[in-house]
Amino acid sequence: MNKKRPLQAEDLLEYEIVSDPNFTPSGNAYTYVSTTINEKKEYESQLFFQKLDSNQRQQWTFSKNKNTNILISPDGKKAVFQSDRSGTQQLWLLPMQGGEAQQLTKLKHGASNPIWGPDSNTLIFSAPIEPEEDINNLTEISTEEKDKEQKELAKRPLVVNRLKYKSDSNGFHDQKRSQLFVLDIRTGNLEQLTNAPADHLLQDVSPNGNEILFIANLREEEDYEQVDDLFVLERSSKKVKKLTDSKCTYQRAVYSPDGNKIAAFGHNFTYAGATLTDLYIFNTGSYEKSNLSAEWDIQLGDAMIGDTRLGKSESGPIWAKDGKNIFFLATDYGVTGLYQVNLTGELDVLYKGSHHVFSFSYNGHSDSFILGISTPTNPCNFYHLKKNGEFNRLTDFNSALLSKLTLAEPETITVPTMDGEEIQGWLLHPSVYQDGEKYPMILEIHGGPHAMYGQTYFHELQLLAAKGYVVVYANPRGSHGYGQEFVNACRTDYGNGDYTDLMEVVDYVLTNFDFIDKDRLGVTGGSYGGFMTNWIVGHTNRFKAAVTQRSISNWLSFYGVSDIGFFFNEWEHGLNLLDDPKKLWDISPLKYAKNVETPLLILHGEKDFRCPVEQGEQLFITLKHLRKEVEFVRFPDANHELSRSGKPEMRIERLNHICRWFEKL
């Protein structure tokens, strides 16, 4: 029997992360995407097929690329998927009976998000295109030509004339916009359906194939707004009808099986970015809207924070085969589960445990579900849930690796606060734990702030426990999972109630767990958690080491350098830069740099456009000039997603730097 060992940072390279489970039309099998890190330390995604009554899986793709987003045609004879094997992400066709994949699109800028038409012969998809480009003369270019083009562009100045000119996910924007296309796979005929100067986000195709549902902001004020409207495009005439009033934002819109209704997630910004998501129903005859979730107090969708999720995940809404119920994931009290609602708003829980349901697929023939589930000690597996409640595990991913590791099961804590709130959190014991010994503790703080820690696998937390630390993580006010009032409670109050919540969590565990050494405390967090780490070390010296990641130090400059700064300050602080700069400075950690006595490690990605690297630079230079103990690590080519989907070697470097710094405890 193998002796178990503590987790290592490099174990990140060994995980198999699965995503996007999808039933075949018959309901007796399913497909999914598996992402691993190959010998070149690059992400590689492959497509798999597995029957429900078999433990054996069939691998459908083998190219050392990213093969994703597989969809089987309604007639069950073929499948479309996305792949970058040609050098650009394109659509490929795979016959179900076996054989080589056939490349369907060869567009210069690629293609994505395909949806089958009901005839199984047409595909509707999205593709970026510049305003004057002609799709008939827009063929895919080679990797060498693409590199040459990029080098030429790098020599030219960037002309900026839009407010939204960059994003953390895509870098600097150009003139390309995502348009909708339809492809006849029999003839190869390709037709462009939209051309407005805006991104068109494909949502669904009506059951009769005559209408296409998409989301966009087609208003002249689009550059200054965060709203997104729902539109219907009539295939034959290409006429576009707007369904909504430009006062909300919508996502994940889908037709009912009979085409008479549309279900969509959305919210009206009542609490800005802290507004809970609602479930809306539109009648396709009158397009009247009703809110099924008006009386609920839960966050729809998946708000769980983790660092091992990769790939596409379905959170709903999905219609039942009879059109009388709708299925979706929701986030509540540290877990995500599968829910059902009927058209009168009656809500039922179909599956909810001490787990993270990260994706699901529904099949009308079998009236059952495949659930993708993560637990605190297992990154991912698939399960079969029948409507009668029967629940079976289908897979055993990562079992060889996990059988070698000593992993920590979290202990749930509930911390009463002085102002009457209850803060949910968790504690991981160190893997070397022995009764009677004292151990250093690290407080982890999540980003968002409107997100949630919970019952999911978290490599970084397990690594710190493996290194001998007690790890404490909690959901202070501002977190999702505890209702609208709670998630809104940190807005216009950063550094006050949220800071007090975290300090009361620390006080609670020091009082109730006598194996924690109160003189050896560390703190770390990223994004909002980085802001809070910076705030903490400027307001207390109780921590002996701190690591701030992709953080915010100065809200004044954040307004102008972040891809979201121009609206985020108003959303979260109720402040605009020119209206009251003093108040923004008062809640900026940089103001309190003279108070910092805690050794601070600053980690930041060079290409982070969400919390730009200048935020880390300002803090480092100020502390260094004050002769404080501080170190700055800058990660090349890394954006805000470094810890979750950054280059594998950089992710490991980041983890090793964190562990190195906390050796000071």
Amino acid present at 509: V
Which of the given ranges, 125-139, 235-249, 458-472, has the highest pLDDT on average?
Answer: 458-472
Q: Are 539 and 595 in contact (CB under 8 A)?
A: yes
573 is known as an active-site residue: no
Question: pLDDT category, 2, cuts 50, 70, 90?
Answer: low
Here the tokens at position 143 are 């990797």
DSSP assignments along 304-353, one per residue = B--SS--S------EE-TTSSEEEEEEEETTEEEEEEEETT--EEEEE--
Nearest to 357 by CA among 376, 384, 338, 334: 338
pLDDT of residue 352: 95
236 is known as an active-site residue: no
pLDDT of residue 387: 84
pTM over 0.85: yes
Question: pLDDT category, 137, cuts 50, 70, 90?
Answer: confident
Distance of CA 31 to CAs 59, 122, 375, 591, 636, Å? 10, 21, 22, 53, 36
Contacts of 559 by beta carbon, 8 Å cutoff, 6+ apart: 565, 566, 569, 576, 577, 584
Distance of CA 381 to CAs 28, 231, 374, 384, 526, Å? 18, 36, 7, 10, 27
Amino acid present at 114: P
Question: pLDDT category, 134, cuts 50, 70, 90?
Answer: confident
- 90-99, 238-247, 602-611: the lowest-pLDDT one: 90-99
For range 633-652, the mean pLDDT:
97
Catalytic residue among 34, 206, 374, 527: 527
Q: Is the pLDDT of residue 39 over 70?
A: yes
Q: Which H or E element spans position 99?
A: none
pLDDT of residue 514: 96
For range 383-392, the mean pLDDT:
92
Q: Is the pLDDT of residue 601 over 70?
A: yes
Question: pLDDT category, 149, cuts 50, 70, 90?
Answer: confident
Report the C-alpha gap between 663 and 665 in whole angstroms: 5
Q: How far is CA 315 from the centre of its chain?
A: 11
Q: Is the pLDDT of residue 1 over 70?
A: no
Q: Is the pLDDT of residue 463 over 60?
A: yes
pLDDT of residue 147: 81
Report the C-alpha gap between 425 and 513 in whole angstroms: 14
Q: Is the pLDDT of residue 622 over 70?
A: yes
Contacts of 161 by beta carbon, 8 Å cutoff, 6+ apart: none
Catalytic residue among 446, 480, 604, 640: 640
- 321-351: pLDDT as tens digits: 999 999 999 999 999 999 999 999 999 999 9
pLDDT of residue 140: 80
Nearest to 531 by CA among 618, 456, 454, 644: 618
For range 100-106, the mean pLDDT:
93
Report the C-alpha gap between 314 and 357 in whole angstroms: 10
Q: Which fold has domain 408-664?
A: Rossmann fold (3.40.50)
Q: Is the pLDDT of residue 69 over 60?
A: yes
Locate the DSSP E strands across 607-651. Answer: 630-635
pLDDT of residue 285: 86
Nearest to 17 by CA among 5, 32, 4: 32
Question: pLDDT category, 287, cuts 50, 70, 90?
Answer: confident
Mean pLDDT of the chain: 95
